[in-house]
Amino acid sequence: MSERLADTAPPTRRLPGEQGTWVFLLGDMLVFGVFFATFMVERAREPTQFDTARRTLHTGIGFTNTLVLLLSSLLVVLAISALRHGLTKPARACTLGAMCCGMLFVALKAAEYWSMVAAGHGAGAGTFYLYYFSLTGLHLLHVVLGLAVLAFVLSQVRRPELSPTRVAVIEGAACFWHLVDLLWIVLFPLLYLVS
């Protein structure tokens, strides 16, 4: 539910999506948490090497990608809001917009990978790069899955009537996209900014 900041009446508590959605989302967050921690432990073993390698990353692309994903998440929020208000056209437009952002992320990432490999900083160039490509690669897999999920949402937007289960699945799908954003929000500083 979209709410004004000045809202004083507390909305009733409701679960976004279904129970199973959160089994999945929390599970994914937990596993990525383990991966983040593993990276930090490896970093502690060779801090100077990791820092040197970190500086070869394209922080500009990483920063742009963060903004791209944040924008896409906002568009998804707007799409769901529009869907709830029965505004089909804006819902479609926002979902498409979010998908475009997602594809832009993939394109930027591909360009970044390409340039890094070309500069000799491929996955085999050192422990940092190994983790960099593994972590961002797994995240990229999530982005691609997220695009498929958003395509599903797009297909549902046009339906005249949505059963409660379908609504729950769509909400869950939106939450998955936010998860993709959330994971990058941690990955970006972890890989590009922390030394």
Partner 1 sequence: MPIVQLLCTRAGFSWVLLIAATVASVALGIDHGTGAAVSVVVLGIAAAKVRLVGLDFMELRHAPLGLRIVFETYCVALWAVLSAIYLWL
Partner 2 sequence: MQPTLQRACAWCGIGFLVALFVMFMLIAGLIPPLSPTSSAQEITQHMIDDKLRIRWGVALMLLASASVVPFNAALSLRIRRAEGGRWGVLSITQILAAAALYPAGFYTPFMMLAAARIWVIDSSPELTLALDDLFWLMLIGLVGTLVLQALVITIATFTDKSPTPTFPRWFGYFNIWYAILATPAALVVVFNAGPLAWNGVFAFWVPLGAFAGWYVALVVLMLRSIAADESDERPAVPHV
Distances (CA, A) of 8 to 2, 12, 81, 84, 175: 13, 12, 20, 21, 26
Closest CB 15 distance from partner 1, rounded Å: 6
One of 56, 81, 134, 156 touching partner 2 (CB under 8 A): 134
The listed partner (partner 1, partner 2, none) that binds 130, CB under 5 to 8 Å by sort, is partner 2
| Chain mean position to CA 105 | 10
Within residues 130-149, the interface with partner 1 by CB under 8 A covers none
Considering the complex, what minimum distance in angstroms separates the CB of residue 38 from partner 1? 10
Ranges within 155-184 binding partner 1 (CB under 8 A): 171, 175, 178-179, 181-182
3 state SS of 16: coil
Q: Rounded to an integer, what distance in angstroms lies between the CA atom of residue 164 and that of residue 82?
A: 17
Q: Applying CB under 8 A, which part among 74-82, 117-125, 129-137, 141-149 lies near partner 1? A: 74-82
Give the integer Cα–Cα distance in Å for 155 and 96: 11
